Amino acid sequence: MRPMNPTLALLAACTLALGACSGGTSPSDEASPAEVVDLTPEAETLATALDNTDGVQTMAEALKETGIAGIFQGKGSYTLLAPDDDAFAALGDAGKALTGSSDHAALAALIKDHLLPGYVTPQDLGAAIDASDNGQVTMTTLSGQVLTFTRSGDAITVSAPDGSQATLEADPLTAETSIAIPIDGVLRKF
């Protein structure tokens, strides 16, 4: 007779022990389907998190108007560098024309300039900057634009190829698969 594998023996013993502990239930002890309550909170999408947060309403509306909000419902992970409402207001007439237009192509292109693949936190960016040889990290947006992240003290700054810059501010907004990091500027010159 071959000796039993110790792991298999432990698994069998645990199964028997747990089976012995269950006293069984009578039909009257079981909950009827109407009595079962699902207490699991619904997963909030990033678009919903933005919509429920003061200070980033312009971006929340832009995501809805362009249809880009839908990508946050999938399984893919994204990092949105979300210009705050003041950043859009600072664009003046150009910002009003961009966000008030019924032609959403330019607005969608702007959002893609701020959207990175993957789930990247400010802490991840800071650690990567600190570990880099030159004190900077580059990442490519969904539009193909290469953004450069640097640190000045505790602040992390992001720069676009056209020279526009913004500083990461406020705590990030997290959802099940994606994250939004509020920034104080729009990463495109107008």
pLDDT tens string 120-171? 999 999 999 999 999 999 999 999 999 999 999 899 999 999 999 999 997 9
Q: How many distinct structural domains can be found in the chain?
A: 1
Answer whether residue 5 is part of any domain.
no
Answer whether residue 21 is part of any domain.
no
Here the CATH number for the domain that contains residue 162 is 2.30.180.10
Answer whether residue 36 is part of any domain.
no
Say whether pLDDT at 35 is over 50. no
3-state secondary structure the chain: CCCCCHHHHHHHHHHHHHHHHCCCCCCCCCCCHHHCCCCCCCCCCHHHHHHCCCCCHHHHHHHHHHCHHHHHHCCCCEEEEEECHHHHHCCCHHHHHHHHCCCCHHHHHHHHCCEEECCCCHHHHHHHHHHCCCCEEEEECCCCCEEEEEEECCEEEEECCCCCEEEECCCCEECCCCEEEEECCCCCCC
For residue 124, the enclosing domain spans 46-183
pLDDT score at 67 = 94
pTM (two decimals): 0.77
